[in-house]
Every structure is written in structure tokens, then in C-alpha cells.
């Protein structure tokens, strides 16, 4: 179908483009450099013959792979339009500039990265490595992230487009492709035009471990704790200074350690302080609130406000304000109302020769918001691990099975509608 080198080479070319997004900016996309990859994708899609490929004013790339069903086929005119989606941006947490991917045949054991030998991918922290002994994987050099989240997904979908363009024997209905910006800062669907996209359902290729399918995400809110203090020269500070940084650190220190990302897994919720900024006069703390049960977010907010109430008497002259905003909601309950969308993905994965499993995402995807907006959008793996980290790596075999799964998926939709 497609040579492994084609998929790998495409991936390596994409990770060389810095597409890091940025939080708390008004521009959309949040960084102009994301458009460098988006323009590249439009050009490549047009070269493949997708004449409607375009970059819209908000930075979304859209294109259509036209149906190739003959009129004699029983499924002709019955197959719904299917969407396939990946995002171009990388995390603001770790630099994506000057990525130097290391392509290796994994021999086993720990992997010390050459750009910074203090950065080690430990085998006991990465059980998936055992499944890749003797296989090709790609790591960072230890100085940047890799960008497999989600350029592995981008490479899979672009290789799919090439495969279908060159493979008329693979029968499929209309397929809509979308490549979104700013997913990593929670804004990937901010201006997504569902009507123009025109799909009945969609699938994001934005997961991690091979064989993992996702129909559940966290429900998510974000909180900003702002402390207003009083600044003055330290030599004159007695009984006057109110140190906002000291207050904000006290609040962060009191968040429960048994409800932190590093101490929870599975369906357990967490309260995660992750950014502190400011000085004596003013300081802010950003906190992630995550729970698979949407109603559980209220309990997390109450817990955060209770911590602020505990700290307030220790600093009576400080002003503490908390603002909570909605990020996304668990897509699970809505996806369960669209069983064929899930069943077809499961069948496609089985045909790829693997044993799939539904695994909850301890995070979110563009599919979280798209499902809430009315477009059922589960997720499948890319083969990447350790996202948002200098220890990020990706299994080439994982990318290959993801590609095979989406190729199977478009055919499953045809077959199911032949039987209808």
C-alpha cells in the first residue's frame, strides 16, 4: 500500500517545522508559525489532486477526498461523509524549534539522548518500549520535544490521502480532511465551521499507544487564582508589604498531593497547579481541574476555593480572587448515542491485526468539543508516547497500524452501507 519510508520521511519533514502554540494571546492562531506547516499541507494536498484544499482565514486546512464508488455499487449515495482530523500545533510547554529527530532501531534498555545526556528515556517508565525491541522508533535529541503530538497524526492522514489518490481499488465515500491549529491551548475548534466541514461524524488521529481507542475524555475547567498584594521597598516593608508571591505559593502548596496528575491514573480526577507568575504586588496561579464526571468539577472548584479560604486569614490584607472557566466536556455520553461511529472504528482496528481497547483519555482532543458541538468524534492512536516532553518518542509501527486502521475505516463505512 504505502512504503514505511514514505510515512516516516513525511513525519520527519513535518517535525522540522516549528509550530508551537502559545497560551493567553488574543491572536488566532496563537502563533503565526503554525501556518508554515498549514500552507505546506495545502500545497501537498493540491499536488495530490485535491482541488478544494484550502487554508481558511482562521488557520484551518480543509480538503475533500472525493468518493470513488461506482454507481453500480449498492453503497453508492448511502455512505455518509466522514471527517478525519489532526492538529498541527505542538505544546507550549517545551520548545518545538530546531527539532533533531533520532531514528533508531531500538535494542532494548534505557535510551540516553545525545543532545542532553541528562535526558534519558527509561525502559521501566515506558513499558511500550518492550513491544518495540528490534523495531524503528523516533526520539528527540533531548533538547526539544519531538512533535509526534500530533504531527504523527498529520503524517498518517496525509499518507492516507496519497494512498487513496494512488489506490482506486480502495473504495470509499467522501472524506473530509481537517488540520487544526491551537489544539494544545484548548482552542482547536474555536472557529471550526461544522456546516462547511459537512461531515456526519469524524475521527481524530491524536492518541498515543497503539491499539488504544478513545471515546471518553476528561471534563475540564481551568482556574486562575489572582492575589493582589502591596509592594514596597523591602527595607521599609514591616507591617506594610503584602507579598502576593508568598500567598500564591501557600495556595499551590496546599493543593492535595493525592489529587495530583503524578499520583492519579485511570478515572481518578486531579487538581493541577501548573503556572505561577507575578511578583510582590500581584501574582497568579493557573490550575487545571479534571474529572471524567462533569459534576465532579464543582467539587474540585469547591476544594480550590476552600484552600483559598484557609490561606486568607494568614494574609488578611491580601486580596484573593478565583475565576473558573469551562474548557471542554467528556465526549463519552454523547458518543454512546452514536454506536455505529464507534463500532466501525473498532472493526477497522481489528482488521489492522491488533487487539483494540477503549481507554479513557486523561486529557482532551479536538473531538471533545466537536462532539459537544454535534459532530461525533472519537479518537485513535498515533504511536506516540511521552507527549509534551523532551522524552517524547514514537513507534513507526504504531504510525503504520494507525494508517492501516484509517484505510480500513473508510472501507468499513462502505461495507456497512452495502448491507443496510
Q: Report the catalytic residues.
A: 89, 183
Are 216 and 332 in contact, with CB atoms under 8 Å apart? yes
Residue 51 burial by Cβ neighbours in a 10 Å radius (0-12, 13-18, 19+): exposed
Give yes or no for a contact between 374 and 412, defined as CB atoms under 8 angstroms apart: no
| 3-state SS class at 301 | helix
Q: Are 173 and 68 in contact (CB under 8 A)?
A: no
Answer whether 228's CB lies under 8 Å from 282's CB. Answer: yes
The C-alpha atoms of residue 27 and residue 316 are separated, in whole angstroms, by 38
Cα gap 384→128, rounded to integer Å: 10
| CA proximity to 227, closest of 306, 271, 286, 270 | 286
**E-strand stretches of 300-388:** 319-328, 357-358, 379-380, 384-385
List the strands of the sheet with 384-385, edge to edge: 102-105, 136-139, 393-395, 384-385
Sheet of strand 219-228: strand arrangement:
270-278, 282-291, 219-228, 319-328
Q: How far apart are CA 262 and CA 134, in angstroms?
A: 31
Burial 333-357 (b: 16+ CB within 10 A, else e): ebbeebebbbebbbbbbeebebebe
Work out the end-to-end distance of the chain between its first and last CA atoms, rounded to an integer number of angstroms: 29
d(CA 24, CA 53): 30
Amino acid at each position: 500500500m504505502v512504503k514505511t519510508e514514505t510515512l516516516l520521511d513525511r513525519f520527519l519533514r513535518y517535525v522540522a517545522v516549528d509550530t508551537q502554540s502559545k497560551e493567553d494571546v488574543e491572536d488566532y492562531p496563537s502563533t503565526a508559525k503554525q501556518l508554515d506547516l498549514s500552507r505546506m499541507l495545502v500545497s501537498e494536498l493540491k499536488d495530490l489532486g485535491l482541488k478544494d484544499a484550502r487554508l481558511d482565514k482562521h488557520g484551518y486546512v480543509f480538503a475533500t477526498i472525493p468518493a470513488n464508488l461506482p454507481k453500480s455499487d449498492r453503497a453508492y449515495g448511502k455512505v455518509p461523509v466522514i471527517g478525519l482530523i489532526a492538529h498541527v500545533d505542538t505544546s507550549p510547554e517545551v520548545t518545538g524549534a530546531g527539532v533533531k529527530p533520532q531514528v533508531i532501531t531500538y535494542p532494548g534498555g534505557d535510551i540516553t539522548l545525545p543532545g542532553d545526556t541528562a535526558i534519558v528515556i527509561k525502559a521501566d517508565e515506558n513499558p511500550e518500549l518492550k513491544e518495540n525491541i528490534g523495531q524503528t522508533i523516533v526520539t528527540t535529541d533531548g533538547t526539544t520535544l519531538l512533535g509526534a503530538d500530533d504531527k504523527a497524526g498529520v503524517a498518517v492522514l496525509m499518507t492516507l490521502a496519497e494512498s487513496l489518490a494512488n489506490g482506486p481499488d480502495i473504495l470509499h465515500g467522501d472524506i473530509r480532511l481537517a488540520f487544526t491549529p491551537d489544539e494544545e491551548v484548548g482552542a482547536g475548534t474555536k472557529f471550526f465551521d461544522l456546516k462547511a466541514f459537512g461531515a456526519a461524524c469524524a475521527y481524530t488521529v491524536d492518541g498515543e499507544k497503539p491499539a488504544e481507542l478513545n471515546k471518553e475524555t476528561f471534563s475540564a475547567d481551568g482556574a486562575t487564582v489572582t492575589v493582589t498584594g502591596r509592594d514596597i521597598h523591602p527595607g521599609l516593608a514591616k507591617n506594610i508589604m503584602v507579598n502576593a508571591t508568598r500567598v500564591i505559593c501557600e495556595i499551590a502548596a496546599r493543593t492535595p498531593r493525592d489529587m495530583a496528575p503524578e499520583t492519579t491514573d485511570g478515572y481518578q480526577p486531579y487538581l493541577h497547579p501548573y503556572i505561577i507568575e507575578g511578583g510582590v504586588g500581584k501574582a497568579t496561579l493557573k490550575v487545571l481541574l479534571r474529572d471524567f464526571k462533569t459534576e465532579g468539577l464543582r467539587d474540585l472548584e469547591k476544594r480550590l476555593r476552600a484552600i483559598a479560604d484557609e490561606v486568607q486569614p494568614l494574609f488578611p490584607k491580601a486580596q484573593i480572587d478565583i475565576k473558573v472557566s469551562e474548557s471542554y466536556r467528556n465526549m463519552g455520553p454523547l458518543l454512546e448515542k452514536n454506536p455505529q461511529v464507534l463500532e466501525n472504528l473498532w472493526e477497522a482496528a481489528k482488521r489492522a491485526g491488533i487487539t483494540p481497547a477503549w481507554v479513557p483519555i486523561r486529557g482532551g482532543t479536538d473531538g471533545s468539543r466537536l462532539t459537544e458541538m454535534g459532530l461525533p468524534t472519537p479518537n485513535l492512536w498515533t504511536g506516540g508516547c511521552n507527549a509534551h516532553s523532551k522524552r517524547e518518542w514514537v513507534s513507526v509501527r504504531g504510525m503504520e497500524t494507525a494508517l492501516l486502521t484509517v484505510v480500513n475505516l473508510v472501507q468499513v463505512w462502505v461495507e456497512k452501507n452495502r448491507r443496510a
